[in-house]
Amino acid sequence: MGNASDTPDVTDVPDVFDPRIYAAGIPHDRYRALRDHHPVARQAEYEVLGWPAGPGFWAVTRHADVVRVLKDAGGFSSYLGATQIRDPDPADLPFIRRMMLNQDPPGHGRLRRLVSRAFTPGRIERFAATARGRARELLAAARESGGDEVDLVRAVTDDYALLNLTDLLGVPASDRGLLHTWTERVIAYQDPDEPPVLDTVGRPVNPRSPAMLAEMFRYAQELAAHKRAHPADDIMTVLAESELHDAELEMFFFLLTVAGNDTVRSAAPGGLLALAGHPDERARLWRGEVGMDTAVDELLRVHPPVLSFRRTATRDTELAGVPIAAGDKVVVLHASANHDERVFADPHRVDLARTPNPHVSFGDGPHVCLGAHFARLQLRLLHEELRDACGDLELAGRPRRLVSNFINGIKTLPVRAGWRD
């Protein structure tokens, strides 16, 4: 088991690998040091939290370099080693590569085109009334149960994200708890507060391995069969009636369940935390002096839901003057790119009117988030309903963050809400 003494010397090149760092928040000082002095920095991948050591990787911190990596699928592959920092078990790699997230063009484009049919603006907008009503109901229930002090994560944002996703997918209400369990298993596996994901002899195991996803995949096939017999206006009906092979459908269900849930589940409390900590900007927004869509993008810049994605160099190349060898792991750090002074003026200031705002919170290039429009819609509706429900919002305690170098999660967000009469 790793501990603080296991951490390599960071006096020269700051360590941004250790998942425990992120429990204290985004390590902006370390990111700034890397951007200024080591924009493509070698990082040790040491044993930590029971997970074995790896070969190390290059951390990419400047906005321009992050965008270059994300756009250049030919030079930086999602397929070769998948998209997580840790190398998957070689036996699992063919399985993991079935997912669109872990493919390169042209195969990636075929899958994306098939599934993009489900994410039509019309279908997403039809969910807007339901999502708005849900935000209103959750905020009202939080007021009734918690009074002025409430944990917005437990009372509002967790359920808001999950229930919106299950509506969009067409998952029956009786099965929604399953999606929550599966998401927790995949997203929170690094966090010591969460139940560990172990194999039969008690060793940590990748929650994305075939054995760990078998239950979810069986459910996906059962739900698809039901949708073929009873079609509805939802994404699973579109997937079930598409040209996807069984394995591709299973992987899409996994991707939508986890990414579709956790994008909003992480971004929503992050945005609320920023509003609680910046009362002047919140007042501008709530008085209507700032456009809601612009504000949502700034909150996404400040608190991206995903911290990192990995690529693998396909050939010897150079990035920011640093030689990269074919086969090297290259990891882009979204929150660092979003705070790069070379692109964003005064990047640590929350400016809800900031424009332009070329943040990379939803990625860039061929893998830009397929559900970005749906995520922005949900966030906008939540903030509009919060504005109508509250006259004030301030922190009532220290938030608790997820221990993860992948998801920028917030586990609790205690606030004092000045509810309107």
- Residue 5: predicted pLDDT: 38
| Number of neighbouring beta carbons within 10 Å of residue 239 | 24
| Residue ranges making up the domain that contains 269 | 19-419
Give me the mean pLDDT over the 39-57 stretch. Answer: 92
Q: What CATH number is associated with residue 288? A: 1.10.630.10
251-271, pLDDT tens digit by residue?
889 888 888 888 999 999 999
Query: Distance between CA atoms of 74 and 80, rounded to whole angstroms?
Result: 11
Q: Of the ranges 10-14, 234-238, 305-309, 377-381, which one carries the lowest mean pLDDT score?
A: 10-14
Is residue 336 a part of any domain in this protein? yes
Record the tokens describing residue 275, joined without a space. 């509003």
DSSP code for 305: S
What's the total number of domains in the chain?
Answer: 1
- Residue 186: predicted pLDDT: 73
Q: How confident is the model at residue 120 (pLDDT cuts 50, 70, 90)?
A: confident
pLDDT reading at 371 higher than 70? yes
Are residues 143 and 155 in contact, defined by beta-carbon separation less than 8 angstroms? Answer: no
- Residue 95: predicted pLDDT: 86
376-394, pLDDT tens digit by residue?
999 999 999 999 999 999 9
Is residue 54 a part of any domain in this protein? yes
Q: How confident is the model at residue 6 (pLDDT cuts 50, 70, 90)?
A: very low
Is residue 365 a part of any domain in this protein? yes
Give me the mean pLDDT over the 87-94 stretch. Answer: 88
Percentage of residues in the chain with pLDDT exceeding 90?
A: 71
Question: What secondary structure does DSSP assign to 233-250, as a single string?
Answer: SSHHHHHHTSS--HHHHH
Give me the mean pLDDT over the 119-131 stretch. Answer: 84
- Which residue shows structure tokens 């493509």? 40
pLDDT reading at 205 higher than 70? no
| Positive or negative: CA dihedral 407, 411, 412, 417 | positive
Closest CA to 308 of 47, 8, 57: 57
- Residue 188: predicted pLDDT: 61
- Look up residue 369 and give its amino acid: C
Query: Distance between CA atoms of 262 and 282, rounded to whole angstroms?
Result: 24
Give me the mean pLDDT over the 274-283 stretch. Answer: 97
Record the tokens describing residue 189, joined without a space. 């596996």
pLDDT reading at 283 higher than 90? yes
Instruction: Mention every residue, 6+ apart, whose C-beta is less than 8 A from residue 264.
Output: 157, 160, 161, 164, 165, 305, 375, 378, 379
Is residue 7 a part of any domain in this protein? no
List the Cα angle 199/158/160 in 5-degree steps.
135
CA atoms within 13 A on the CB side of 379: 31
Maximal CA-CA distance, the chain: 63
Q: What is the mean pLDDT of the chain?
A: 90
Query: Distance between CA atoms of 384 and 403, rounded to whole angstroms?
Result: 30
Element (H, E) at 304: none
pTM equals: 0.92
159-201, pLDDT tens digit by residue?
999 999 999 899 998 998 888 888 877 776 666 676 665 555 5
pLDDT reading at 308 higher than 90? yes
| Coil, helix or strand at residue 396 | coil
Is residue 13 a part of any domain in this protein? no
Query: Distance between CA atoms of 392 and 373, rounded to whole angstroms?
Result: 28
| Number of neighbouring beta carbons within 10 Å of residue 145 | 9
Is residue 3 a part of any domain in this protein? no
Between 7 and 219, whose confidence is greater?
219
DSSP code for 81: S
Between 9 and 400, whose confidence is greater?
400
Query: Distance between CA atoms of 208 and 187, rounded to whole angstroms?
Result: 10
Question: What secondary structure does DSSP assign to 94-117, as a single string?
Answer: HHHTTSGGG--TTHHHHHHHHHHT
| Number of neighbouring beta carbons within 10 Å of residue 191 | 23
Q: Of the ranges 85-89, 188-192, 355-359, 409-413, which one carries the lowest mean pLDDT score?
A: 188-192
Is residue 6 a part of any domain in this protein? no
Is residue 14 a part of any domain in this protein? no
